[in-house]
Amino acid sequence: MLLDEPFSNLDVLLRDRLTVEVRDILKALGTTALLVSHNQHEAFVVADTVGVLFNGSMQQWDSAYNIYHRPASIDVATFVGDGTLVSGRVVARDQVQCGLGDIQGKLSLPCDQGCEVHLLVRPEDVLHVEDAVVQAEVVHTSFRGPNILYQLRLPSGETCQALVSSHHNHRIGEFIGITPEVDNIVVFHKKNDGPH
């Protein structure tokens, strides 16, 4: 069955309910379906496998989990979900130094010490800690009810995002303390910006 943007004209609440109902019906009937959507949330809820297309070329065909946490290219990394790329340098087998400080964890690809990388930083990987060493300037806010998505300028001049409880209501121009909390470090070699 081909489903071409089936939920695009629905309000958010109805869309959320129907995506789950359609998935349940397809599963119960054992029916294979191809869902075409620009809405990542819909694709992640309905699909067992997700394909990301750029310029008519399949960039990654994988589970939603892998596409989000193990993107195959910079294009996929920056298209799927919120996130930014910051410059970094590998200083140890499991450590990257960047504008957020030193980040330790498992690297997504092998890099020798001194390797220059782009590091994918998701908003949920950046914690708001008032007395943190890194103080970042709020340059944009997006209120999302229980959370606020902050666009932050790092001391390096680069930007990143942080998803913070809306109980902390900071204004543009304020500086807030942030610290990274990343387990699996998604990096791409700076040299050719391709997957490795």
What's the CA gap between 170 and 131, in Å, rounded?
15
44, two tokens:
């992640």
> pLDDT value at position 183?
77
Residues sharing a CB contact under 8 Å with residue 27, sequence separation 6 or more, in sequence order: none
Topology agreement, domain 2-79 and domain 84-189: no
Domain range summary for the chain, segments of one domain joined by +: 2-79, 84-189
Instruction: Pick left, alpha or beta for residue 101 (phi over 0 → left; psi -120 to 50 → alpha; otherwise beta).
Output: left
Residues with pLDDT less than 70, the chain? 192-196
Strand partners for 175: 137
84-189 classified as CATH 2.40.50.140: yes
Q: 0.85 exceeded by the pTM? A: no
Distances (CA, A) of 82 to 60, 111, 122, 163: 18, 25, 6, 10
Strand partners for 57: 54
Long-range contacts of range 149-154, CB-CB < 8 Å, 24 or more positions apart?
Answer: 149/82, 149/123, 150/176, 152/126, 152/176, 152/178, 154/86, 154/99, 154/100
Helices marked H in 55-157 — which ranges? 64-69, 74-79
Q: Looking at the domain that runs over 2-79, which CATH code has it been given?
A: 3.40.50.300
